[in-house]
Amino acid sequence: MIFLKLIKNLTLFAVGAVCYPVIEILWRGRTHISMAFTGGAVFVALYRFYKKYRELRLVRRCVCGSLIITFFELICGMLVNRALMLDVWDYSKNRFNFKGQICLGYSLLWALLCAPVSALCRRIAKSKV
């Protein structure tokens, strides 16, 4: 049983580690390896959240999902961009940003993306795998 949980979590992590950088490449034309690790962690967190709170209405799931993603982006940004000074991204020119690491505009876009992600997580949770 523990082995199956480990495999499932690694699979979820791999999905996020692939999809997150692909989204970034499609959006801005480039990515960084830190986005794969962030994406993996984000997808595992979203899956667990959506599985636990599956009765929430879609709008609330999307808002909560956006907050989860934004939190992970802030942590990654503070580590990768600030502490390690790699300057992977900088939102300081965007309105309503926090230390150039997160901004309201992208948080709203994450909320939109959380609708299909929530549906995917529901399908995965229903599967026997």
DSSP string, 53-97: TTTS-HHHHHHHHHHHHHHHHHHHIIIIIIIS-------TTSTTE
pLDDT tens digits, the chain, 129 residues: what are they?
899 899 999 999 999 999 999 999 999 999 999 999 999 999 999 999 999 999 999 999 999 999 999 999 999 999 999 999 999 999 999 999 999 999 999 999 999 999 999 999 999 998 866
Three-point CA angle 108, 113, 116, nearest 5°: 145
Q: How many domains does the chain have?
A: 1
Residue in the structure block whose two tokens are 């791999």: 14
Q: Give the residues across from 98 on adjacent strands.
A: 102
Of all helices (H) and strands (E), which one includes residue 99? none
Domain of residue 106: give its range: 2-126
For residue 56, which of 101, 109, 124, 114 has the smallest C-alpha distance? 114
The model's pTM = 0.94
